[in-house]
Structure 1
């Protein structure tokens, strides 16, 4: 219940930020050159996320799979956008990890990351993006953590190109990392190189 309250509060805060940014944005006077957008100028996308763990985290976990939804709200013409992203990530534990004289199979991590940031198109269709927020661990006790929330940040680069008059594909590669979920345990930081492939409209 406490996690649900935190998640709801963050989503509402990011929604407020999004609408605030949109309210201060004037309608572009020139047509978009980066890709197609909705009539309001906001770009929505639904994507599949996958990744490979890095650092100490990779000792116990092998890969992750999930999904996310994102809104890109124009701030400056078709070059700069405020992004709001929420999703789900399942990070799969390795089988038969040797710890001392014992063999264990770490429990999967179940995360809900909620992030906001900026997306900038230096040239048509190519973008750089940076997001930060909170990642909520849904099964804290199962994985031996003492924190259910961690700070998360994710720099990303990608391409976005139209596939029809009102839709596009967004493909990006990012590094995503959190702070520790278990005090004093570096292996409880979730770090991975991820790929997001999304359908936008």
Structure 2
């Protein structure tokens, strides 16, 4: 799949989130704010998918994985500390010259950060941490650990009670695993089931 098609799909997903976000905000103006039910620790689990960009796109088509996240409130149910751990598998491309498929890149990112709700259930999130390569020898990596950071925006759709559908789009960047000066970047989408404790 070409990069332009992948970016178009990701853009469509992002615009859908904003459209649903706008509709959700206009329908909740007559009722109590949906964010009023958001309190306490929130756990979420769900799939992650993404599109590699830059030098990572040269060797990998897309990535798929999952993550578990805990959000701890620190200020008025608007500001949370987040802790996130997951798994990402980057599916290798087939070399056009040799017709040999490369090895998939497998990462375990562990991150912590802040999540802020400026309006209703719309949030801005930033995380940083470490990303571990599980198959270092297969992919020819020089290092097994790299610094990772991930800014994200998203929306928490109320499902009733303390249950939510948490949908977010992020840019995630890992510093180099190979000493060639390239970073490992991708645009990702996370759709998770979230529930308050």
| Aligned positions of 1:76-87 closer than 5 A | 76-87=75-86
Name 1:139's counterpart in structure 2. Answer: 135
**Count of paired positions:** 164
Q: Over aligned residues, Cα RMSD in angstroms?
A: 1.6
Match of 2:5 in 1: none
How far residue 103 of structure 1 moved from its aligned partner, in angstroms, is 4.0
Matches within 5 A, 1:36-51: 36-37=37-38, 41-51=40-50
Q: 1:141 Cα shift? A: 0.4
Question: Aligned to 2:143, what secondary structure does the other structure show?
Answer: coil
For residue 137 of structure 2, give the secondary structure of its aligned residue in structure 1: coil
1:119-168 Cα offsets, whole Å, 9 max, x none, are 00110010000000000000000001110000000000000021011210
1:195 is matched with which residue? Answer: 189
Q: Which runs of 4+ in 1 moved over 4 A?
A: none
TM-score using structure 2 length: 0.79
Q: Distance in 1 between matches of 2:93 and 2:134?
A: 19
Give the structure-1-normalised TM-score. Answer: 0.77
User: Does the 8 Å CA contact 1:66/1:89 hold for their aligned counterparts?
Assistant: yes
CA contact (8 A) 2:34 2:158 kept: no
CA-CA distance at 1:104 after TM superposition:
3.3
Partner SS, residue 151 of structure 2: strand
Residues 32 and 150 (structure 1 numbering): CA distance in 2 closer, same or farther, change over 3 Å? Answer: farther
Contact in 2 for aligned 1:82/1:117 (Cα 8 Å): yes
In the alignment, structure 1 residue 151 sits paired with structure 2 residue 150 = no
Stretches of structure 2 that go unaligned for 5 or more consecutive residues are 1-31
- Give the unaligned 5+ runs of structure 1: 1-30
Structure whose residues are more often helix by fraction = 2
Deviation at 1:190, TM superposition (A): 1.8
Name the SS for the 2:164 alignment partner.
strand
CA deviations over 1:69-106 (Å, ceiling 9, x no partner): 000000101110000000000010012343xxx44322
1:115·1:131 contact (CA, 8 Å) conserved in 2?
A: yes
Q: In 1, Cα distance between the equivalents of 2:34 and 2:164? A: 13
Matched, 1:175 2:176: no
> Matched residues in 2 for 1:35 and 1:114: separation?
30
Contact 1:145–1:182, Cα closer than 8 Å, also in 2:
yes
